[in-house]
Structure 1
């Protein structure tokens, strides 16, 4: 892990050209993993969860949770470095191999075009996408109110993702590719994972797992 901001930026610059941002990626993955991290009130202790779902049924097949401390200071644009060691450790504990990683965060839609989904995808060489609740960069027009509607997320002249409506009349999510995926396929996978709620079921299950572990281990 880098020890300074300059070292972390240098890691992003070195790894960014390795990200495959066109894919096309798996059209019908059988297993999909959600990755999420919950923090204690001190902002330092954390629990990182990876939950693998059967894409056809959305049943949970495997879950791994790792507790620890943030590995890097909070710096905008470098947030992935806080969570990477714990998430990689959780991935290593899985007994069911996911064909796609769905990160609670961003991939290409990042100030240096290398968010958490890109970083994890490159390090693991797995197809990965980011699904953010709020944008990190960019501007957009509101998509139509119908589920499946989308508009481009643009940062300057670059299209860095899509603003996707997963439920009729509900706030959209912000989808960007991480590694070995195209943006159209990324949105198709997100819609498969959101039959009832705004957020992908992968994110919901991983969020539930890491929060439960954090309550158990540190009492929050």
Structure 2
């Protein structure tokens, strides 16, 4: 997959937030126009007590959810954990991993946030804007916003509201498990992001693309 951009640390948290604000203004939540044939699940882990950054990508055919390609990119960790600007810590490794793909996915599904971020630019939105392609975030916890707890049965959904605006969804992916937080990243509507997430959920809590990417990032595949 051809990648021409990069993500580097801008030198300070203040500069990082300025860049986030600039990129957030470029986020477009417009409908995906092309059919989805391949979907990539993306996750990043920090093994070796955080000294290594490992970006893992699993590409699945859609809607069959059969794995067709996987790749891992590792590099020394150069940016510490700083809440709110994680895409700068993870983004470079993710872009390098994407560059290794032979199959170009139609949409990227991140284990992380889309617009459900204090500045409206989680990792899914950040990379979506840079690559100008459809992305969505599937997060395991709520970073910002208010919501009513969905019913305890699989498939129950409630709205994630940020600044009085419905910005995503809270989804119960299995009976009586903690919900997931689904938000669009870029070039996709929140309804399409929800539908795609639901179509990728099987018998596990996480949708297949990010579930497999999570396993790969932990070297469990």
TM-score exceeds 0.5:
yes
Distance (Å, rounded) in 1 between the aligned partners of 2:187 and 2:163: 24
Q: Relative to structure 2, which stretch is displaced further, 60-69 or 25-34?
A: 25-34
User: How far apart are the structure 1 equivalents of 2:50 and 2:193?
Assistant: 31
- Name the residue aligned to 1:44: 51
Once the two structures are overlaid, the 10-residue window that deviates more, 101-110 or 37-46, is: 37-46
Q: Distance in 1 between matches of 2:81 and 2:176?
A: 34
Segments of 4+ moved more than 6 angstroms = none
Q: 1:97 aligns with which of 83, 93, 104?
A: 104
The superposition leaves residues 53-75 of structure 1 with CA deviations (integer Å, 9 ceiling, x where unpaired) of 01222111111110012342321
- Output one character per residue of 1:66-119: Cα deviation in whole Å (capped at 9) or x when no partner: 001234232111011100000000001100111110000001110111110100
The CA deviation string for residues 131-167 of structure 1, in whole angstroms up to 9 with x for no partner, is 0011111121111233332111123323221101222
Aligned length: 213
The gaps in structure 1 that reach 5 residues or longer are 216-220
Q: Does 1:33 align with 2:40?
A: yes
TM-score after normalising by structure 1: 0.91
2:12 paired residue number: 4
Aligned to 2:91: 84
Q: Tell me the C-alpha RMSD between the 2 structures.
A: 1.7
Please say if residues 153 and 161 of structure 1, whose CA atoms lie closer than 8 Å, have aligned partners that are also in contact: yes
- Give TM-score, length-normalised by structure 2: 0.90
Decide whether the 8 Å contact of 1:71 with 1:81 is kept in 2.
no
Asked whether 1:185 is paired with 2:185, we answer no
1:189-208 matches, cutoff 5 A: 189-208=196-215
Please state which structure has a larger fraction of its residues in helix: 1
